[in-house]
């Protein structure tokens, strides 16, 4: 990327980092505040979701943590993170099922399918009785013992930043007869697993409260739950519907009507069917694919994980992927738009979304995450069908991109004019970055435009209090307040490959944050990956936006694409290493600025290197650009890959600009080759 673009605000990275340090937390146990935040969060919350069979929790929470484990291993080379990963995934796989008997195992959720309990929030009143919720019927109760209420404490407070309805339902005992409320379920799918969920509390009376699903055709209670608490709580239970033609009802009551003074409070009653969702399989599948690819690319180093990786690959290829094209239950949901474009749609065989029409196509983020999933798996299995579909989905999405100055904007879906919000855009951006790094669909120009979307349009421009607007056009939109998704940036941080400001936006937001979500754990992992104090793109895996032969965030010094280039045939780990060829007339080098260091401290450089045995050899320099002095240098001449390390002391003045150069020990030989991989700087005593 051009220097003028990266620092176009005339604020150097050194100054921005200084602002970060001024407002950030003090260094903690490991010397890395991001790592300490991550470990603190993970140790307390890492087990929150992986034992759940619910695809929504696995997709929108656990998948982020799984991806962060892979990143933490890549950063630290500590296999303990991979052990956590396999523990989680093995448990997840123990919870898969084929409840719809379509021949494919997986996970399901009931949170997105149509809610068959209309007016379960009690927000709408009956046309002739404002105390009675519309669509509900009293049983032996009256407006004095069963009524909707917006009095404080009588409804579940909304957790939404924009609030919610302020009505709930109050049910009182009279000591002499049942006081109840019920309504019919308008529709249901026969012999299908459903979920009843609601919020409730009581006044502490021994009357307690009860909600149940009742088959009035047979006089059978299908599911029931007792409420016995004095604070609002979530309740959920599953049941299986009978054959078609029965009348099913939801009832709200007490456990014991003979107790006087019992009060129960209900809100947000919902009943919906369990279905699998492509977006969840894509989120989970991408997290699985990243681990599978990691082990595949490091088969010797990570041989202890080969069995797990093979198991996960079999599950992915036999269950998750074919389900969406071969299932008799879900139908074939792939739409081949043309020879170059395609997407996935909502199943037409069952109604899985709370929309009146079939989503054809699915929203951009929902099919795009499947594209990323297939693209990563293609790296492992070379399946041309995976590659073709990933490319076609990306091409279809690309038609939805429109210019917004030097940036891009796009829709939430191609079906409607609604713009994409910056939270869901994380998926869109991540997919674009993945495809770009494969040399597919998205060019460096595209990625610079996505980066401009973040840094010129969505970002509020503040370095001390950076925030992200709600929508990709940089607006608040119709939402009640702006910056609602500002912390949702793990996908956006992949743009640090193209613009250093992306890291600044993330780091300054998270410097004082106590993480609360798995999404934020993944964001911390990506902040660590692009932290300039460690060097970035250490393994040369990522390409420059305008030159596919140059590693991102490294710059050539006197060298060319023929003397300093990414080399897929000479990598110690991963896909690429860096090769530098001497030309006999001048230094051929690559360089990266190094910042955010502590003054007068000892640092360790570790790297993998080898040479072709020529007199050119290989060499790394640490240079104080401000003073022009070489702080230290290290030469090597081994002809097989070996790990090297050396130490140096950082400048006494922390504002001095320091650079790391990779090159030869002597430039005079012609054609001498030096090979580099995994170049890392760490403070002495740090674990990584």
Q: In the prediction, which pLDDT does 30 show? A: 72
> What are the start-end ranges of the E strands in 368-418?
402-404, 407-409
Residue 232 has a CB neighbour count (10 Å cut-off) of 16
Mean pLDDT of the chain: 94
- Cα gap 208→260, rounded to integer Å: 11
Q: In the prediction, which pLDDT does 29 show? A: 54
The yes-or-no verdict on residue 180 having pLDDT over 60 is yes
Q: For the chain, which domains are there?
A: 33-110+276-530 (1.50.10.20), 125-273 (2.60.120.260), 555-683 (2.60.120.260)
Which carries the bigger pLDDT value, residue 260 or residue 22?
A: 260
Lowest mean pLDDT among 319-328, 429-438, 465-474, 580-589: 319-328
Lowest mean pLDDT among 152-166, 177-191, 320-334, 356-370: 152-166
417 class by beta-carbon count within 10 Å (0-12 exposed, 13-18 middle, 19+ buried):
exposed
Percent of residues, the chain, with pLDDT higher than 90: 91
**C-alpha of 87 from chain center:** 20
The answer to whether the beta carbons of residues 342 and 349 sit under 8 Å apart is no
Q: In the prediction, which pLDDT does 3 show? A: 28
The yes-or-no verdict on residue 26 having pLDDT over 60 is no
Which H, E and C letters describe 440-506, residue by residue? Answer: CCCCHHHHHHHHHHHHHHHECCCCCCCCECCECCCCCCCCCCCCCCCCCCCCHHHHHHCCCHHHHHH
Q: In the prediction, which pLDDT does 389 show? A: 98
Nearest Cα neighbor of 502 from 540, 470, 458, 534 is: 458
How does DSSP classify residue 303?
G
3-state secondary structure of 364: helix
Task: Report the C-alpha dihedral over residues 546, 548, 550, 555, rounded to 10 degrees.
Answer: 0
Q: In the prediction, which pLDDT does 24 show? A: 36
- Cα gap 136→253, rounded to integer Å: 13
User: Is residue 17 very low, low, confident or very high in pLDDT (cuts 50, 70, 90)?
Assistant: very low
Instruction: Show the DSSP H helices in 470-604 as ranges.
Output: 501-510, 518-529
Q: Which helix (H) or strand (E) holds 436?
A: helix 425-437
Which carries the bigger pLDDT value, residue 550 or residue 164?
A: 550
Global pTM value: 0.93
Q: In the prediction, which pLDDT does 463 show? A: 94
Q: In the prediction, which pLDDT does 186 show? A: 85
**In terms of residues, how long is the chain?**
688
User: Mean pLDDT throughout 227-246?
Assistant: 97
Q: In the prediction, which pLDDT does 687 show? A: 77
3-state secondary structure of 162: coil
Q: Which helix (H) or strand (E) holds 313?
A: helix 306-315
Structure tokens at 281: 């399989």
- Cα gap 534→516, rounded to integer Å: 26
5: number of CA atoms within 13 Å, CB side? 19
Q: In the prediction, which pLDDT does 19 show? A: 36
For 437-483, the pLDDT digits (tens) are 999 999 999 999 999 999 999 999 999 999 999 999 999 999 999 99
The answer to whether the beta carbons of residues 221 and 186 sit under 8 Å apart is no
> What are the start-end ranges of the E strands in 150-299?
168-174, 180-184, 193-202, 209-215, 220-227, 233-240, 248-253, 260-273
For 31-60, the pLDDT digits (tens) are 788 999 999 999 999 999 999 999 999 999
- What does the buried/exposed string (b/e) look like for 491-503 if buried means 16 or more CB atoms within 10 Å of the residue's CB? bbbbbbbbbbbbb
The answer to whether the beta carbons of residues 520 and 526 sit under 8 Å apart is no
For 63-108, the pLDDT digits (tens) are 999 999 999 999 999 999 999 999 999 999 999 999 889 999 999 9
The yes-or-no verdict on residue 23 having pLDDT over 90 is no
Q: In the prediction, which pLDDT does 159 show? A: 77
User: Mean pLDDT throughout 552-565?
Assistant: 98
Helix %, strand %, coil % of the chain (to 5): 30, 25, 45
- Cα gap 28→539, rounded to integer Å: 26
Nearest Cα neighbor of 375 from 299, 302, 441, 298 is: 441
User: Is residue 554 very low, low, confident or very high in pLDDT (cuts 50, 70, 90)?
Assistant: very high
- Cα gap 538→307, rounded to integer Å: 28
Residue 101 has a CB neighbour count (10 Å cut-off) of 9
Q: In the prediction, which pLDDT does 118 show? A: 93
Structure tokens at 276: 């699998």
The answer to whether the beta carbons of residues 558 and 586 sit under 8 Å apart is yes
For 140-153, the pLDDT digits (tens) are 999 999 999 999 99
């Amino acid at each position: 990327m051009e220097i003028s673009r990266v620092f176009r605000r005339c604020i150097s990275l050194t100054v921005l980092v200084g602002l970060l340090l001024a407002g950030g937390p003090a260094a903690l146990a490991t010397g890395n505040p991001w790592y300490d935040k991550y470990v603190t969060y993970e140790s307390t919350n890492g087990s929150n979701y992986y034992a759940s069979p619910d695809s929504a929790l696995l997709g929108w929470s656990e998948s982020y943590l799984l991806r962060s484990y892979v990143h933490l291993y890549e950063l630290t080379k500590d296999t303990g993170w991979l052990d956590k990963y396999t523990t989680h995934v093995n448990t997840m796989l123990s919870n898969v099922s084929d409840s719809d008997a379509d021949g494919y195992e997986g996970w399901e959720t009931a949170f997105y399918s149509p809610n068959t309990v209309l007016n379960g929030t009690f927000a709408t009143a009956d046309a002739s009785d404002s105390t009675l919720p519309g669509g509900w019927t009293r049983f032996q109760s009256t407006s004095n013992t069963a009524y909707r209420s917006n009095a404080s404490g009588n409804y579940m407070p909304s957790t939404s930043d924009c609030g919610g309805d302020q009505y709930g339902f109050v049910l009182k005992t009279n000591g002499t007869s049942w006081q109840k409320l019920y309504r019919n379920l308008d529709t249901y799918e026969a012999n299908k697993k459903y979920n009843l969920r609601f919020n409730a509390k009581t006044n502490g009376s021994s009357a307690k409260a009860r909600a149940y699903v009742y088959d009035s055709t047979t006089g059978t209670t299908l599911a029931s739950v007792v409420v016995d608490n004095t604070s609002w709580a979530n309740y959920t239970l599953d049941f299986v519907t009978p054959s078609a033609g029965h009348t099913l009802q939801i009832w709200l009551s007490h456990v014991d009507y003979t107790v006087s003074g019992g009060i129960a409070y209900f809100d947000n009653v919902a009943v919906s069917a369990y279905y699998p969702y492509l977006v969840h399989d894509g989120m989970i599948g991408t997290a699985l694919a990243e681990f599978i690819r990691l082990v595949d690319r490091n088969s010797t180093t990570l041989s202890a994980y080969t069995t797990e990786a093979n198991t996960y690959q079999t599950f992915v290829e036999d269950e998750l992927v074919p389900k969406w094209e071969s299932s008799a239950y879900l139908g074939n949901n792939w739409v081949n738009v043309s020879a170059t474009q395609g997407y996935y749609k909502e199943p037409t065989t069952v109604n899985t979304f709370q929309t009146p029409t079939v989503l054809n196509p699915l929203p951009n983020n929902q099919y795009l995450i499947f594209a990323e999933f297939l693209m990563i798996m293609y790296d492992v299995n070379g399946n041309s069908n995976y590659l073709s579909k990933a490319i076609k989905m990306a091409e279809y999405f690309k038609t939805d991109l429109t210019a917004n100055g030097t940036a891009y904007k796009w829709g939430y879906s191609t079906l409607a004019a609604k713009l994409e919000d910056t939270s869901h855009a994380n998926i869109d951006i991540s997919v674009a970055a993945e495809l770009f790094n494969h040399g597919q669909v998205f060019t460096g120009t595209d990625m610079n435009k996505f980066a401009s979307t973040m840094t010129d349009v969505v970002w509020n421009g503040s370095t001390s209090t950076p925030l992200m607007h709600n929508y990709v056009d940089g607006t608040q939109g119709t939402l009640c307040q702006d910056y609602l998704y500002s912390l949702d940036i793990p996908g956006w941080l992949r743009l640090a490959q193209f613009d250093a400001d992306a890291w600044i936006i993330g780091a300054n937001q998270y410097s004082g944050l106590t993480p609360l979500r798995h999404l934020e754990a993944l964001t911390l992992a990506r902040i660590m990956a692009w932290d300039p104090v460690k060097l970035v793109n250490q393994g040369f895996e990522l390409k420059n936006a305008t030159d596919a032969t140059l590693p991102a965030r490294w710059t050539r010094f006197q060298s060319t694409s023929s003397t300093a280039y990414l080399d897929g045939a000479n990598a110690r780990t991963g896909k690429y290493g860096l090769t530098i060829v001497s030309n006999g007339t001048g230094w051929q080098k690559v360089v990266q600025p190094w910042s955010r260091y502590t003054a007068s401290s000892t640092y360790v450089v570790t790297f993998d290197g080898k040479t072709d045995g020529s007199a050119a050899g290989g060499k790394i320099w640490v240079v104080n650009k401000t003073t022009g002095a070489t702080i230290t240098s290290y030469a090597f001449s081994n002809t097989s890959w070996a790990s090297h390390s050396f130490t140096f002391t950082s400048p006494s003045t922390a504002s001095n600009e320091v650079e790391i150069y990779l090159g030869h020990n002597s430039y005079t030989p012609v054609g001498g080759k030096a090979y580099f991989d995994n170049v890392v700087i760490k403070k002495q005593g740090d674990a990584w």
